[in-house]
Structure 1
Amino acid sequence: MSAESPKAIFYALAANLGIAIIKFAAAAFTGSGSMFAEAIHSTADCGNQLLLLLGLRQSREPPTPLHPMGTGRAINFYSLLVALLLFFVGGAFSVYEGIHRLIAREPLQYVYIALGVLGISVVLEALSLYGAMREIRAGTPNKSLWRWFRETRDSDLLVVAGEDIAALAGLAIAFVAVLLTVITGNPVWDACGSIAIGILLMLIALLVAREVKSMIVGESASPEMRREIDAFLRARPEIRSIISLITLQWGKEVMVAVQCEMIDYDHSRTMVEAINVIEADLQAHFPVVRWVFFEPDFVNR
Structure 2
Amino acid sequence: MATDSSNKTIFAAMGANLAIAITKFIAAAITGSSAMISEGIHSVVDTGDQLVLLLGIRMSQKPADDSHPFGYGQELYFWTLIVAILIFAIGGGMSIYEGITHLIKPSPLEDPMWNYIVLTIAIFLEGYSWTVALREFLPTKGKQNFWEAIKNSKDPTVFTILLEDTAAVLGLFVALIGIFLGHLFNNVYFDGIASIIIGIILAIVAILLARESKGLLVGESANPQTIASIRSLSKTELGVQEVIRILTMQLAPQEVLLNLEIQFAKNLTGEQIALTVESLEAKISQKHPEIKQIFIEAKSLAATRKYPQPFE
| CA offset digits 1:34-74 (Å, max 9, x no partner) | 00100001001000000000000111111000000000000
Q: Is the 8 A contact 2:53 2:76 kept in 1?
A: yes
2:256 pairs with 1:240: no
Q: Partner of 1:245: helix, strand, or coil?
A: strand
Letter in 1 for 2:257: M
CA separation of 1:66 and 1:4: change in aligned 2, threshold 3 A = farther
Q: Which runs of 5+ in 2 are unaligned?
A: 305-312
- Find 1:296's aligned residue among 295, 298, 304: 298
Q: CA deviation at 1:237?
A: 2.4
Distance 1:267 1:143 in 2: 44
1:192 is matched with which residue?
A: 193
Q: Is the 8 A contact 1:61 1:70 kept in 2?
A: yes
1:274 is matched with which residue?
A: 276
Q: How many residues align?
A: 301
2:71 is matched with which residue?
A: 70
| CA offset digits 1:203-253 (Å, max 9, x no partner) | 111111111111111100012222222222222223111011011111121
2:199 pairs with 1:206: no
2:94 pairs with 1:86: no
Q: Is the 8 A contact 2:233 2:283 kept in 1?
A: no
1:222 is matched with which residue?
A: 223
Letter in 1 for 2:28: A
Which stretch of structure 1 is more off in the superposition, 14-23 or 75-84? Answer: 14-23
Distance 2:64 2:155 in 1: 20
Q: Is the 8 A contact 2:237 2:276 kept in 1?
A: no
Which stretch of structure 1 is more off in the superposition, 90-99 or 139-148? Answer: 139-148
Which stretch of structure 1 is more off in the superposition, 249-258 or 226-235? Answer: 226-235
Letter in 1 for 2:155: D
Letter in 1 for 2:70: M
2:158 is matched with which residue?
A: 157
Computing the radius of gyration over CA atoms, which structure comes out larger, 1 or 2? 2
State the TM-score, normalized to the length of structure 2. 0.92
Which stretch of structure 1 is more off in the superposition, 110-119 or 168-177? Answer: 110-119
Distance 1:46 1:238 in 2: 54
1:257 is matched with which residue?
A: 259
Distance 2:294 2:157 in 1: 25
Q: Partner of 2:292: helix, strand, or coil?
A: strand
Q: Partner of 2:297: helix, strand, or coil?
A: strand
Q: CA deviation at 1:267?
A: 2.7
Q: Is the 8 A contact 1:265 1:271 kept in 2?
A: no
1:144 is matched with which residue?
A: 145
Q: CA deviation at 1:265?
A: 5.0
Q: CA deviation at 1:202?
A: 0.7
Distance 1:91 1:234 in 2: 51
2:9 pairs with 1:28: no
State the TM-score, normalized to the length of structure 1. 0.96
1:114 is matched with which residue?
A: 115
1:283 is matched with which residue?
A: 285
Q: CA RMSD in A?
A: 1.6
Distance 1:279 1:240 in 2: 16
1:3 is matched with which residue?
A: 3
Q: Is the 8 A contact 1:34 1:191 kept in 2?
A: yes
1:128 is matched with which residue?
A: 129
